[in-house]
Amino acid sequence: MTAVITGGTKGIGLGIAKELLKNGFTVVATSRNTNEEFKKLSNEYPDRLLFIPCDISSFPDIENLVLQVKNKFEKIDLLVNNAGVAPKERKDILELNPEEFDYVTDINMKGTFFVTQKFVDLLKAAGSARIVNISSMSAYTASVNRGEYCISKAGISMITKLYAARLAEYGISVIEIRPGIIETDMTVKVKEKYEKLIADGITPIKRMGKPSDIGRCVAAIAKGDFDFCTGTVIDCDGGFNVRCL
């Protein structure tokens, strides 16, 4: 079984890679660059973990990624659209400029759409395959100081529904996972703020999530435990989605 994970070298993507490797998958991880933690994991799984550099905001990069995967594997069983960026600077939506907007949405939303489109033939070749899109609780939670990020994640929710409807005839399911507050490089600068919010009750489960929490959700989908589901959302967020009085 072969999986491709965009943004698979750190944070949530690396957590997903670790869980899939534990479950016997061969993993192709993509990102713009690699790092020491990923290299260490590669040494543990030299025959089942492959890195291919790719900037998913670049259409030629996407096409090159698909070609390399096709040449090596001919088909894939799982595509995990995880690659994403936060705004370089949190800025009020009244001050946001087009370049800042495009930086986030070109990777998070546009990149996810076209990576999926270009991998469809390799997913169809598997006979029965799965796509997992990693969005965020920001898909439905308004943060006016990072509106472009919220819009990009809301876009992934619709991308999930569109491809779920389009690809069901080929036996390809598409499921969205919405992480909550997860300990990654993206949240390290605001970790103290989030820990206080969690202590004050913003989530029923009083801890930040780990990349492995998301990884285990993806592994369950990859193993076929959700094969009667498509277009489905899984909230992996410590209960943030629960409205309480």
Residue 47 tokens read as 């025959």
The answer to whether 25 touches 192, Cβ cutoff 8 Å, is: no
Cβ(57)–Cβ(111) under 8 Å?
yes
Is 149 catalytic? The answer is yes
Q: Cβ(80)–Cβ(16) under 8 Å? A: yes
Give, as one character, the DSSP assignment of residue 243.
-
Q: State the catalytic residue, choosing from 149, 163, 170, 194.
A: 149
Q: Which of 68, 66, 220 is nearest to 132 (CA)?
A: 220
Q: Report yes or no: 30 and 13 within 8 Å, Cβ to Cβ.
A: no
Give the Cα separation of 19 and 13 in Å (integer).
Answer: 10
- Which residues does the annotation mark as catalytic? 149
